[in-house]
Amino acid sequence: MIVILKPDPNQDQLKSLLSWLQEKGITIHTSVGEARTILGLVGDTSQLDADLIAALDIVEDVKRIHEPYKNANRMFHPEDTVVKVGNTRIGGGSLTLMAGPCSVESEEQVVTIAKAVKASGATMLRGGAFKPRTSPYAFQGLGAIGLEYLKTAREETGLPIITEMMDISQLPLFKDVDVIQIGARNMQNFDLLKAVGRQEKPVLLKRGMSATYEEWLMSAEYIMAGGNHNVILCERGIRTFETYTRNTLDLSAVPVLRKLTHLPIIIDPSHAGGKSWLVDSLSMGAVAAGCDGLEIEVHNDPAKALCDGPQCLRPDAFHRLAGKLLTLHETVKNLEA
């Protein structure tokens, strides 16, 4: 961390700053220039709050040299993290297809879809039992019984299951789930992050609607700081001025995260666009850009249309898409080799 002092800083305040830093075990290299004095801070600067230092009267600006996250930082962990879930490996060159309904509606529904998406090449079943809904009057999900249906679908297909946890109190119910999903709205629910960091199950952490890459990685760091290093990152679109699409898929997240972190990167094209006819193009783009997998909503019952979200694919559409994605992934791997 580099601290640029204002010209002629108050000496008492400067002493106070220096001794405070030294108490924290930071070594200070002072460079006295003609116009400015610059402090180079060496040591564990991830514990320092750059904003607080920048707010001091004597400080012109603060410049971090290292990112404030450690466990998630590729600098300290150069190899890709590969998260293992049953026979599925997420990251490290594979392409993981997570597919399934937005909401679990019935045992029959989820088993049918699970079989269909498995046959198409999906390696994980997604489905919501606890649903974060904007309105208190909207269907809030089947809850615990929905988790049971997912487990039945896992038994019938062998697909590991991933589903969203919304509150710490649900943790015991998730004991038999394969991957815990933390939704965009809870990306900075820090108590929830700490709770899933204290257990061992892999966690898929969605990006908050207006979270920067750094904030997102700091939330991953919350989980990892608790001891759980099985974190998967999932970009699902950010909020921008454009409202034609529900959110704006930030494809740059793929190369940026690849550089900043060793954690696997999943793209959710269904929520990003919010329209089923966008899923095809966005999925193709995400795979070619180098993501580790996709999380795609698939629904089976075109007749029961009202439970079919705007962003859901039908199984036949998913089947065609999955075929294209697997071929595309092979082509891209060969091109990059």
- Token pair belonging to 257: 């995260």
How near is the Cβ of 31 to a second copy at its closest, in Å? 3
Whichever of 60 and 107 has its CB closer to a second copy, that residue is 60
Whichever of 92 and 132 has its CB closer to a second copy, that residue is 132
> SS3 for 186?
helix
d(CA 324, CA 278): 15
Whichever of 40 and 121 has its CB closer to a second copy, that residue is 40
How near is the Cβ of 81 to a second copy at its closest, in Å? 18
How near is the Cβ of 173 to a second copy at its closest, in Å? 13
Whichever of 115 and 173 has its CB closer to a second copy, that residue is 173
d(CA 141, CA 310): 17
Residue among 178, 123, 122, 173 at smallest CA distance from 145: 173
d(CA 51, CA 55): 6
d(CA 13, CA 332): 57
Whichever of 127 and 141 has its CB closer to a second copy, that residue is 141
How near is the Cβ of 202 to a second copy at its closest, in Å? 19
Residues 6 or more apart whose Cβ sits within 8 Å of residue 157: 111, 114, 115, 118, 125
How near is the Cβ of 234 to a second copy at its closest, in Å? 16
How near is the Cβ of 176 to a second copy at its closest, in Å? 21
Residue identified by tokens 């649903």 is 131
Whichever of 160 and 297 has its CB closer to a second copy, that residue is 297
242, HSE (Cβ side, Cα atoms, 13 Å): 12
